[in-house]
A and B are shown apart, each in its own frame.
Chain A
Amino acid sequence: MSLVGKPLSPQRRRFLQDSARAAGGCLVAGSLLAYLGRDARALPAEALRPPGAVPEDDFLGACIRCGLCVRDCPYDTLKLAELGVDAVATGTPYFIARDVPCEMCEDIPCVAACPTGALDKGLQDIDDARMGVAVLVDQENCLNFLGLRCDVCYRVCPVIDEAITLELSHNDRSGHHAIFAPTVHADRCTGCGVCEKSCVLPEAAIKVLPARLARGNSAEHYRKGWEEKAEKGGPLVEGIIDLPDRLPGPGADNLATPGGYEPGYNLPGAGQ
């Protein structure tokens, strides 16, 4: 098409100019909006989503910010983020465990109230909720780690003895006492936050964190030999003969060798 021979019609020129102007404006406005959207995704670590919430990446596309979950929460745990006050995306529901934890209602009214499925109706049993993971973040201040029997986080846990257990070990400091270490088992912890709320310290030593912060992740190809062996009920590779170790000379940990002795790992009281 030759631009030289035929003069462009002024209407067309006008139309193209207007369209370019509008499209340019939209590009700027759209970029700002997308930027705001990216900021809105940055959920503070202490802000927990209600039970059954879809992953945070999908949540802002699923939640219409109607507040029905907040209305049906019988313990006033949930609240809607307010513009410029809370660092959570405006109008979306969240709770701070240290303020009001989730009481884990059996009928999960917040999930039932959600009209869009941002809180997934697939969550039938509140024990399957994963709002976050409790982490004993400060062993240096935790009273149990200091050798006391505080035990409060363990006692209040709605999934007691499964989500939090007390692990016994020797108190090296006193030399003749025990330490009952509160230990969280992430596969059972719902992230309700009752432990964090109840921690007696001025600043909780156990905190519920979003799973992305609380947990590591083992590499896909890792296998735990002992688990695989237990599952199979025998050695994983057939036909392997466990030959006795033959070390030369007397004094080696080998009974088959003259002068040898029982290997350390078979001695009574050697652990394992």
Chain B
Amino acid sequence: MTARTHMPVGHEAREVKGWVGAHRFLLLRRFSQVFFLALFLLGPWFGIWIVKGTLAGSLTLDVLPLTDPFILLQGLVAGHWPEMTALIGGLIVLVAYALIGGRVYCSWVCPINPVTDAAHWLHRRLDLPKGWQPKRSTRLWILATVLIVSALTGVIAWELVNPITMLHRGLVFGMGFVWAMVVAIFVFDLFVARHGWCGHICPVGAFYGLIGAKSLLRVSATNRAACDDCMDCYAVCPENQVISPALKGKPGSSPLILSPDCTTCGRCIDVCSVDVFKLTHRFDDAVVAPPDPAAAPQTRAARPV
């Protein structure tokens, strides 16, 4: 490894924008994750029943039903036609994520995200090799497998192992041995495969990615002309294959990150010291004009670790 890739990720952004500025989206995401979890926990812990149920299915303020569309789909192929309540709830979730971005669920709501984020943080700190890297399409294969198994066995198959709903249910209803499963995913992501679970295996993320393939909310490398090739965005991005087409696209190509794999976590916006990225909508493909060649940013000098 070169000294360059060894530089602490986001170091420059911290110097330029300050700690809070360089962690804005991370803080917002943690707040969002805690917020959604708290909504579910207020009832069982404090008797304030705003939301009842779990991420699989819930009822908010006794009127708004929400259902996980992936679980609903498995139930459908398993041969059970659900009641209207679940169908409406599933439709609301489907439309919401189709609009704002399917994998927004992954980075802003999913309770497993902090676990795999922590694994990745430690992975970087320990400078571990990236390990087993199955193709990104593996999760789509698993998604198809889950649906086939559901159809053949008549059981909602992924709920037999789904760590997302298990951890959430564990926190809201009772943990059992779910903690062991969470530890297993942490260890898997830390030692076996970098970004292994969320980035390669999880069919829930794959499903939400498909939902949000044409979603409105997008990150754009609007100011890509200012990029100084520090690679920090690649280092923090959980799906870093999505960056290049937007950031390193030919002049005239869209600066929008349009891949359904992008979780819109905004970490790239945080760690960029020259503010290449911004959060925008999918029709905003404006690019900041390349500055005068004389004023082009200096490529970052390598510093000793």
Give Cα A89–Cα B155 distance, bound, in whole angstroms. 11
- Option from A29, A37, A72, A121 in Cβ contact (under 8 Å) with B153: A37
Any chain B CB within 8 A of the CB of A96? no
One of A76-84, A98-106, A189-197, A254-262 at the interface: A76-84
Interface residues of B in 133-190 (CB under 8 A from A): 135, 137-138, 141-142, 144-146, 148-150, 152-161, 165-166, 169-170, 172-178, 180-181
Judging by beta carbons under 8 Å apart, are A62 and B82 in contact? yes
Complex interface: chain B residues within 8 A of A63 (CB): 156
Judging by beta carbons under 8 Å apart, are A22 and B141 in contact? yes
Judging by beta carbons under 8 Å apart, are B83 and A116 in contact? yes
One of A53-61, A131-139, A203-211, A224-232 at the interface: A53-61
* Closest B residue by C-beta to A89: B160
- A23 → chain B, closest Cβ, in Å? 8
- B64 → chain A, closest Cβ, in Å? 12
Complex interface: chain B residues within 8 A of A213 (CB): none
- A53 → chain B, closest Cβ, in Å? 12
Any chain B CB within 8 A of the CB of A71? yes
Judging by beta carbons under 8 Å apart, are B43 and A71 in contact? yes
Any chain A CB within 8 A of the CB of B65? yes
Any chain B CB within 8 A of the CB of A247? no
Give Cα A68–Cα B64 distance, bound, in whole angstroms. 13
Beyond A64-B67, A80-B169, A115-B86, whether A34 also contacts B157 by CB under 8 A is yes
Judging by beta carbons under 8 Å apart, are B176 and A84 in contact? yes
Complex interface: chain B residues within 8 A of A66 (CB): 53-54, 56-58, 67
Complex interface: chain A residues within 8 A of B57 (CB): 64-66, 68, 115-116
Any chain B CB within 8 A of the CB of A45? no
Complex interface: chain A residues within 8 A of B68 (CB): 64
- Option from B75, B85, B157, B172 in Cβ contact (under 8 Å) with A62: B75
Give Cα A68–Cα B53 distance, bound, in whole angstroms. 5
Complex interface: chain B residues within 8 A of A72 (CB): 52
Give Cα A23–Cα B219 distance, bound, in whole angstroms. 34
Which one of B68, B86, B89 has the greatest number of beta carbons of chain A within 10 Å?
B86
Contact with B along A80-116 (1 / 0, CB 8 A): 1011111001110000000000000000000001111
Beyond A64-B68, A115-B57, whether A70 also contacts B173 by CB under 8 A is yes
Judging by beta carbons under 8 Å apart, are A33 and B145 in contact? yes
Give Cα A57–Cα B79 distance, bound, in whole angstroms. 11
- A1 → chain B, closest Cβ, in Å? 27
Judging by beta carbons under 8 Å apart, are B138 and A22 in contact? yes
Complex interface: chain B residues within 8 A of A60 (CB): 78, 154-156
Interface residues on B, range: 35 or more
Give Cα A41–Cα B56 distance, bound, in whole angstroms. 20
* Closest A residue by C-beta to B180: A84
Any chain B CB within 8 A of the CB of A148? no
Give Cα A38–Cα B157 distance, bound, in whole angstroms. 10
- Option from A37, A91, A117 in Cβ contact (under 8 Å) with B166: A91
Judging by beta carbons under 8 Å apart, are B144 and A36 in contact? no
Any chain A CB within 8 A of the CB of B300? no
* Closest B residue by C-beta to A38: B153
Complex interface: chain B residues within 8 A of A70 (CB): 173
Any chain A CB within 8 A of the CB of B210? no
Beyond A18-B135, A34-B157, whether A26 also contacts B145 by CB under 8 A is yes
Any chain A CB within 8 A of the CB of B115? no
Any chain A CB within 8 A of the CB of B271? no
Beyond A37-B155, A115-B85, whether A65 also contacts B174 by CB under 8 A is no
Give Cα A77–Cα B78 distance, bound, in whole angstroms. 28
Judging by beta carbons under 8 Å apart, are A61 and B155 in contact? yes
Contact with B along A10-43 (1 / 0, CB 8 A): 0000000010001101100110011011101100
Complex interface: chain B residues within 8 A of A30 (CB): 145-146, 148-149
Give Cα A179–Cα B65 distance, bound, in whole angstroms. 54
Judging by beta carbons under 8 Å apart, are B169 and A64 in contact? no
Give Cα A115–Cα B56 distance, bound, in whole angstroms. 11
Interface residues of B in 56-103 (CB under 8 A from A): 56-59, 65, 67-68, 71-72, 75, 78-83, 85-86, 89
Complex interface: chain B residues within 8 A of A86 (CB): 176
- Option from B75, B144, B157 in Cβ contact (under 8 Å) with A33: B157
* Closest B residue by C-beta to A121: B83
In the complex, given contacts A57-B154, A60-B78, A90-B166, what are 12 additional A-B residue pairs having Cβ atoms less than 8 angstroms apart?
A33-B161, A54-B80, A58-B80, A61-B79, A61-B80, A65-B54, A70-B173, A71-B43, A83-B181, A114-B83, A116-B82, A121-B83
Query: Could you show 23 A-B contacts with beta carbons less than 8 Å apart?
Result: A22-B135, A22-B141, A36-B161, A61-B155, A62-B80, A64-B71, A64-B159, A65-B54, A65-B56, A67-B173, A68-B59, A79-B173, A82-B170, A82-B174, A83-B177, A83-B181, A90-B159, A90-B166, A91-B56, A91-B159, A113-B59, A115-B57, A116-B72
Interface residues of A (CB under 8 A from B): 18, 22-23, 25-26, 29-30, 33-34, 36-38, 40-41, 54, 57-58, 60-68, 70-72, 79-80, 82-86, 89-91, 113-118, 121
Closest 4 CB pairs of A and B: A82-B176, A66-B57, A84-B177, A61-B78
Interface residues of B (CB under 8 A from A): 43, 52-54, 56-59, 65, 67-68, 71-72, 75, 78-83, 85-86, 89, 135, 137-138, 141-142, 144-146, 148-150, 152-161, 165-166, 169-170, 172-178, 180-181
